[in-house]
Amino acid sequence: MIEKNQTRSEGQDSMPYIICLVHILEGWIDVQQLEDYLNFINYLLWVFTPLIVLILPYFTIFLLYLTIIFLHIYKRKNVLKEAYSHNLWDGARKTVATVWDGHAAVWHGYEVHGIEKIPEKGPALIIFYHGAIPIDYYYFMARIFIHTGRTCRVVADHFVFKIPGFSLLLDVFCALHGPREKCVEVLKSGHLLAISPGGVREALLSDETYSIIWGDRKGFAQVAIDAKVPIIPMFTQNIREGFRSLGGTRLFRWLYEKFRYPFAPIYGGFPVKLRTYLGDPIPYDPMVTAEELAEKTKNAVQELIDKHQRIPGNIMSALLERFHKKQDIN
């Protein structure tokens, strides 16, 4: 009985000590309502803990993907070491290309079909359909550089050269704005050159129907004729499902026509299956005019779209394609 009473007494006596401790803390940190303060902290924990619990697994997956990309880079470490021993920028290009190629393999299961149609030596003009973001060209450029050692020059829109911090990137990867004479010079020097005749207009205004928006542009065809090089058509399956643009709405279309800047929001980044297809080269023919060659090239790109792309494009179908083999769309 004595021990029981003593235990009860000790339990009762402990409460005043806790109350005193609370009052001491209130005075020490100058908070009048410490209990309310603690209740507020408890409320924050109650709200944010579920969010943290939901986010942490995805952070782990993110780390796993970073690890996989690192392994892709490590697998090519000897190639990188050799590249840096010859030229600083070649080493940098090889490193960046390896990172992009790793990202392409992990995030999109990226494939290139018809890479053998790219000449091992000598010039060629590659004409491609422009997605909302031409991430497929970045992947293609990286794959070509890794497998052939060749740098594919590209004609970029003028606004890209005005983006802060992009000058070094554009210089290292040999992007140019033009003019036509410069493009001919690059090809006559034996380099590969890529052009998207649709450019920013096609990026913003085209949609999941994959309409080619070239207008009456034929300058690229004249470049091929003047340089006497073949044209290789190129298209990437599901590029519109990876990223989508709101540029087709009336407001953003008007803004682009008024200021010639891509103000339209872009959304996406979905890990859809991406496959780049290269069509048969269109050989140089001195008897073909620029208008005829431009139309012939447009038809060749359209044939790639008709053969390999589901119309209209569907994001869910493009995601599911990660899990089955290549299928041509008839």
Catalytically active residues are 130
CA–CA dist 145, 153 (Å, integer): 11
Contact 72, 98 (CB under 8 A): yes
- Give the dihedral of Cα atoms 180, 177, 144, 206; nearest 10 deg: -100
CA–CA dist 16, 162 (Å, integer): 70
Contacts of 107 (CB under 8 A, 6+ apart): 65, 271
Phi and psi of 31, rounded to 5°? -120, 125
Q: What is the CA radius of gyration of the chain?
A: 29
CA–CA dist 186, 228 (Å, integer): 12
Cα dist from 326 to 71, 87, 96, 164, whole Å: 26, 38, 28, 40
- The type of residue at 204 is L
CA–CA dist 319, 313 (Å, integer): 11
Q: What would the two tokens of residue 268 be?
A: 């996406």
Beta bridge partners of 275: 111, 237
Contact 277, 306 (CB under 8 A): no
Q: What would the two tokens of residue 288 be?
A: 């073909």
Contact 151, 186 (CB under 8 A): no
CA–CA dist 87, 6 (Å, integer): 84
